[in-house]
Structure 1
Amino acid sequence: MSRLIICLDIPPEKEKKKSVQILLNEIAYNLLEVSGV
């Protein structure tokens, strides 16, 4: 999980990557909520 967050911290060079990062960010938050952290 820590690796995913680190990857999300890297600014995307393209807008397409930006949208993908946003989706990954939402998934990460959902996983955190499910784990109860």
Structure 2
Amino acid sequence: MRLTFLKNDSTRCAGILETHSTLVKSVDTIDPNEQS
């Protein structure tokens, strides 16, 4: 990752990370043994 890209797209990246985190939590709740 480039810091410049993250800086320019901070809002978009934050949204992606937030969505990813939510998905991970959902999967973790459904199948806690599937942690990587």
Give TM-score scaled by structure 1 length.
0.57
Q: Which runs of 5+ in 1 are unaligned?
A: 1-9
Aligned residues: 26
Give TM-score scaled by structure 2 length.
0.58
Higher helix share: 2
Larger RCO (CA under 8 A, 6+ residues apart):
1
Give the aligned CA root-mean-square deviation in angstroms. Answer: 1.4
Shift >6 Å, 4+ stretches: none
Give the share of equivalent positions with the same residue, in percent: 8
